[in-house]
A = this chain, B = another copy of it.
Amino acid sequence: MTQPLRIAIAGLGTVGVGVVRMVTAHGDRMAARAGRAIEITAVSARSRTKDRGVDLSPYGWEDDPVALARRDDVDLIVEVMGGEDGPAKVLTETALGSGKHVVTANKAMMARHGQALAELAEANGAVLRYEAAVAGGIPIMKALTEGLAGNGIERVMGVMNGTCNYILTQMEQTGADYADVLMKAQQLGYAEADPAFDVGGIDAAHKLALLAATSFGTRVDFDGVQIEGIEQVSLADIEQAREMGYRVKLLGIARMGEDGLEQRMQPVLVPASSSVGRLDGVTNMVIVEGDFVGRTVFTGPGAGEGPTASAILGDVIDIARGLTVPAFGQPAGTLIAANRAATAGPASHYLRLTLTDAPGTLAQVAQALAKHGISINRMRQNDHEGEIAPVLIVTHNCARTDLDAALAEIAGSPASLAAPVALRIEEV
């Protein structure tokens, strides 16, 4: 193992440049740790002439990223172009098919095509890793596939989209509306010009699907994730939740139940004093509950040049050392196609109803809830002016189907002036 590990970088955006910088800064350290040198031999990006602040002259250049996979002087491809299909996928398939290793930060590609790519890698004696795709700099895939590998995982949860957590935190702290905060996040570069992937929960759901597959030994099932974004979260709910001791978070939860695999990415209320509730800004958090280890919590930067490069180089060093852990922690052929759980388990819910301020209205609401077996834990009607009475309710544990039936009834009544809001309260 004294030959250098020769790597090529496909994509020279922030992350690709970060990888160049990190290898330049810490090549000696990495060689000491890996027992062999790690050398960048070639790169590819859209523009060869753009000034990226790093010297690319020592490296070979390819206009076509896929050509990197055909070079004789490349053992491993760092894929940081992104995109679930297109060149990233062709490059990855070409590399793995010819026995070259791939380290990728591409959560969309892995969530969609992870199973096929893992099989291709194993069939060709190549290693496929993607630590950077999930929760940025936090070495969570390693923890799940290796450090905690002996455990039966009971639940895995994560706040894994910095944009969403930033927006929700800012709404709470500044009292600004969703649209205003989103615009500010875009100006600061925290949110993309097209924010749908982030605020719609898709990006975080990609990560959850990868966590779930690795936690439960199941084939990655992105289409099985119930996804709800934060676009509908109102300032009123954030403020009312806070008054009742909760915070609103875009939280992913995966759990293997008797009726199958439950995967949800949705805005939920969590206790303000919980570790999830105290998470501010763009930091990510992943919580793993294992039957032997108990509860472990991993927190760190979820994105950015340095953290992403750190995760990528962690994978690269592993491969340089000869590590061959399969992509999802066990051979792809042994992963199970899990049933999808029909519904999430029962939970408390937060309700915000907008009602007419008239005698009997509350009684009507209480009756509608009782009819569907939903009992009330806390109810609050704050002082208000005018004819509109906002009513806040925290239910005891109930099934969402029962709750939806009750809310449909309430919404259909003349006493209801706006669509009822219901948010799940997650026990984290």
Contacts and interface: CB of A to CB of B under 8 A. Distances in A.
Interface of A: 18, 22, 25-26, 29-30, 32-35, 131, 137-139, 142-143, 145-152, 217, 275, 278, 290-301, 304, 306-307, 309-311, 313-314, 316-318, 321-325, 329-331, 334
B314 A146 contact: yes
Nearest to A307: B293
Contacts of A151: 26, 310
A147 B323 CA distance: 12
A349 to B, nearest CB: 27
A145 B314 CA distance: 9
Nearest to A21: B292
How many copies make up the complex?
2
A295 B290 contact: no
Contact of A330 (B18, B33, B217): B33
A394 to B, nearest CB: 25
A321 B324 contact: yes
A35 B333 CA distance: 12
B293 A300 contact: yes
Closest CB pairs A-B (n = 3): A139-B147, A150-B313, A296-B300
A321 to B, nearest CB: 6
Contacts of A307: 292-294
Given A299-B297, A309-B292, A30 B149 contact: yes
6 contacts: A32-B217, A33-B329, A34-B149, A137-B294, A150-B314, A292-B309
A33 to B, nearest CB: 5
Given A137-B294, A292-B22, A321 B314 contact: no
A213 to B, nearest CB: 13
Contact of A295 (B22, B146, B301): B301
